[in-house]
Structure 1
Amino acid sequence: MNAAALTALVDRWRPETHTFHLRAGEMTPTLQDVSMILGLPIQGEPLCMNTASDGWRGQMEDLIGMAPPTPEDPKEINPAGASFSWIRTHFRECPEGANEDTIRTYTRVYLWYMLSRTLFADSGGKLAHWCCLALTVLEHPWSWEQRHLPTSTGR
């Protein structure tokens, strides 16, 4: 990795407009750029899911076999996800001689952890949101293309 080039790009990034300001003009990364860099397809079935947090623990248990415990105090903030420390405690290392399902679970959690720490980080930097787990279902060829759903015009 070229640290000087990376630093130069960071210095020229404008978060207000989501563009790089270069000598030749402005440059905006496109969906195709992201697809090439990350190796993610942009054609196929779109990833659409309900992001309401109702039932997130059950969905998390379906995907990785467990979920963080419910807080004992009902007034305590209950984020829809797992703290990074909880993930590290329960999935630090895949057991030696694990079967294929266990390896798949640990792989899914690792990808969830990495996506949540890098691409989809929360503002506090402590939580892996449960919705990112759906991105780790590798058996399904999700498309990363942004599709606009028809909206009702009220006519």
Structure 2
Amino acid sequence: MPNNDTPLHRRFLGDELDVEYRARPGLFVKWKEWNASISTRFYAVLKLVKILSSMWLSSGLEVYRDIPSLNQLVSRWCPTTHTFLTNWGEFSITLEDVYTLLFLPICGTASIIAPLSDEEKSLMSSLKAFVESLKKNKKQFDLPDWIRHFHKEDGRDLVELATSIALWLSTYVFHPKNPRTVQSDVFPLACKPACGQQIPLGALYLGTLYHNLDSLVLEVNSKGTNMTSTVDACFLQMFIWERFTKLSPPRKCLNSDNPRPWSWARSRPKKSVKLCDIIDNVSEFTFRPYLTNTYIYFTLDLYPGGVASLTEDVCLSLDISPGGIGFWFAICLPRHILYFLDNAKSASWSFTVYRPGHVARQFGFDQHVPHH
């Protein structure tokens, strides 16, 4: 593989990496109150497009970041395969992880790259007009300005809904390089759910996370280890705790209506175990952490009754009706996924490779060959 694609653990020990991982953005002025108001007044449409729970989750999720573990995990990332490489094989972040831990929908009723409908174009024009009136002579504007405006005006229309979705996408989903500004490129994306169209935000989030991990590895290999990353470190921390239970703190007991990620909120990691000590031991990795748990928001039943080899015959025989194992596996098995490219001058969309076939055992397929 190219030198810049070399996983970092081939060149650096985890303790030698010096990467600054940003925390999830804090609660901006009036954001929690505004988010609660939006969720109440636009409950039906947010539930229809499957982002109600995810927006609600953004109001209070605070996850402690264990920097040594994050460095050890990131050091195993391979941009060529989009998997973490270990002595026993590969594992990766999949759409299942995104769906379960962030509640972002992984399928949709509309394409994000399709032209806007007349209703969406009208909403887009109104949203741009609002932004221009707010910016006035400023080159940029802070997120609290958005919230203060509607808190004062109390606008009860689709412009307010689209504005709140655009703010949420920019701040909590795509993690821009400047965390206190809103990318205008997400406006078309915000208008679709505001008009009742469900879009596959989970795939967009995962593609962007892949891209950010790729960029981190490439930059460290070419420039050195002292850098700041836009990788969603809090999500990666939850991923580590779900997959490596020996590292995870005691899971908080939640009520049945609480989301699964809150079981990790404000938890401190165990100091007696390091990820580098267990990551190469296959028995320490939990392939299917979401099968059963007493305290979870919902049950994610993605798996067949037993382990099967992922042959062509098996793929053809899977039940692809909604809710069937074939349906979920097909949803989780696209060849490419879009990602949000946050450039210095503008943002754009591009495609990156998604290879869940490399980690089929995480979906309940391909039994591991035991060591002798």
Query: What does 1:97-108 correspond to in 2, within 5 Å?
Result: 98-101=154-157, 104-108=161-165
Find the counterpart in structure 2 of residue 91 from structure 1: 146
Q: Does the CA contact (< 8 Å) of 2:170 and 2:183 recur in 1? A: no
Deviations 1:62-81 (A, max 9, x none): 45653559xxxxxxxxxxxx
* Structure 1 CA distance for aligned equivalents of residues 170 and 144 of structure 2: 12
Provide the aligned C-alpha RMSD in A: 4.3
Deviations 1:91-116 (A, max 9, x none): 25342472443753442231132257
* Structure 2 CA distance for aligned equivalents of residues 134 and 27 of structure 1: 35
Query: What does 1:46-125 correspond to in 2, within 5 Å?
Result: 46-50=110-114, 60-63=124-127, 66-68=130-132, 85-86=140-141, 88=143, 91=146, 93=148, 94-96=150-152, 98-101=154-157, 104-114=161-171, 117-118=174-175, 121=176
* Structure 2 CA distance for aligned equivalents of residues 68 and 33 of structure 1: 38
Find the counterpart in structure 2 of residue 18 from structure 1: 82
Larger helix percent: 2
Find the counterpart in structure 2 of residue 33 from structure 1: 97
Question: How far off its partner does 1:39 sit?
Answer: 0.7
Looking at CA atoms only, which structure, 1 or 2, has the larger radius of gyration?
2
TM-score for both structures, normalised by structure 1: 0.53
Q: Does the CA contact (< 8 Å) of 2:108 and 2:200 recur in 1? A: yes
* Structure 2 CA distance for aligned equivalents of residues 137 and 16 of structure 1: 36
Q: Does the CA contact (< 8 Å) of 2:162 and 2:194 recur in 1? A: no
* Structure 1 CA distance for aligned equivalents of residues 192 and 335 of structure 2: 17
* Structure 1 CA distance for aligned equivalents of residues 182 and 168 of structure 2: 16
Deviations 1:107-127 (A, max 9, x none): 223113225752xx58xx984
Q: Does the CA contact (< 8 Å) of 1:117 and 1:128 recur in 2? A: no
Distance change >3 Å, CA 58–CA 99, structure 1 → 2: closer
* Structure 2 CA distance for aligned equivalents of residues 108 and 100 of structure 1: 14
* Structure 2 CA distance for aligned equivalents of residues 15 and 37 of structure 1: 23
* Structure 1 CA distance for aligned equivalents of residues 190 and 173 of structure 2: 9
* Structure 1 CA distance for aligned equivalents of residues 86 and 121 of structure 2: 46
Larger strand percent: 1
* Structure 1 CA distance for aligned equivalents of residues 147 and 193 of structure 2: 17
* Structure 2 CA distance for aligned equivalents of residues 110 and 127 of structure 1: 9
TM-score for both structures, normalised by structure 2: 0.27
Distance change >3 Å, CA 141–CA 116, structure 1 → 2: closer
Distance change >3 Å, CA 62–CA 87, structure 1 → 2: farther
Q: Does the CA contact (< 8 Å) of 1:64 and 1:108 recur in 2? A: no
Question: Kindly, what percent of the aligned residue pairs are identical?
Answer: 20
Letter aligned with residue 95 of structure 2: L
Question: How far off its partner does 1:27 sit?
Answer: 1.3
Deviations 1:23-73 (A, max 9, x none): 432112222222222212334524343369xxx98652245653559xxxx
Unaligned runs of 5+ residues in structure 1 are: 70-83, 149-155
Q: Does the CA contact (< 8 Å) of 2:78 and 2:85 recur in 1? A: yes
* Structure 1 CA distance for aligned equivalents of residues 191 and 79 of structure 2: 27
Q: Does the CA contact (< 8 Å) of 1:21 and 1:27 recur in 2? A: yes
